[in-house]
Amino acid sequence: MNILLALIPISLLLLGAAIWAFLWAVRGGQFDDLDTPALDMLRDEDRPAPPRTPAPPARPDGD
């Protein structure tokens, strides 16, 4: 049973570390938006250069 005297303090240390890491993540804004980052990984970043024109002129293609 003496092993408990070592294991329980270790578990408490781990708990403390987990709580510290969690609070650090909260302060760093990791939990601000949980939905958008999930979409980011679905797309490649290397796209052609952005168009510089503010907006293409309105042109109805229909006739």
Partner 1 sequence: MNRALDLRCFHCGEALPADPVKVRIGDQDRLVCCTGCGAAANWIRDAGLADYYTLRQADGARVDIAPGDYSAWDRGDVQSGHAVATPEGREITVVVEGMRCAACAWLIDHALRREPGVCDVGANAVTGRVRIGWNPDATPLSNVLSRLAALGYRPHLAQGEAAERERRRERNRLIARLGVAALGATQAMMFAEALYLDTANEMAPATRDFFRWITFLVSTPVVFFSGWPFLTGMVAELRHRRPGMDTLVATSVLLAYFASLVETLRGGAHVWFDAAVMFVLFLLAARFLERMARRQASAQLDTLARAQPALAWRETVAGREQVPVTALAAGDVVQVAAGDTVPADGELLDRAAAMDESLLTGESVPVPKAAGDLLYAGSTCRESAARLRVTRTGSDTRLSQLTRAVEQAQAQRPRLARFADAVAMRFVVALFIAAGLVFWAWWQVEPARAFEIALAVLVVSCPCALSLAVPAALATSHGALAKRGVLALGADALETLAQADTVVLDKTGTLTLGRPRLVRADAVGDGDVQALQRIAAALEANAGHPLAAAFADGAVPVASQVVAAPGQGVSGTVDGREWRLGRAEFACAGQDDGALWLGDGARAFARFEVADPLRPDAREAVAALRELGLAPRLLSGDGQATVAAVATEVGITDFHARQSPEDKLAAVRALQAAGHRVLAVGDGINDAPVLAGADVSVAMAAGAPLAHRSAGLVLAGSALMRLPESVALARRCRRIIHQNLGWALAYNVVALPFAALGWVTPGLAALGMAASSLVVTANALRLGRAPRGNE
3 binds partner 1 (CB under 8 A): no
Smallest separation, CB 35 to partner 1 (Å):
3
Helix (H) and strand (E) counts in the chain: 2, 0
Residue 46 has φ and ψ, to the nearest 5°, of -80, 80
33 binds partner 1 (CB under 8 A): yes
Smallest separation, CB 5 to partner 1 (Å):
9
10 binds partner 1 (CB under 8 A): no
DSSP helix, strand, coil percent of the chain (3-state; round to 5): 50, 0, 50
User: Among 3, 6, 10, 40, which residue sits at the site for partner 1 (rule: CB under 8 A)?
Assistant: 40
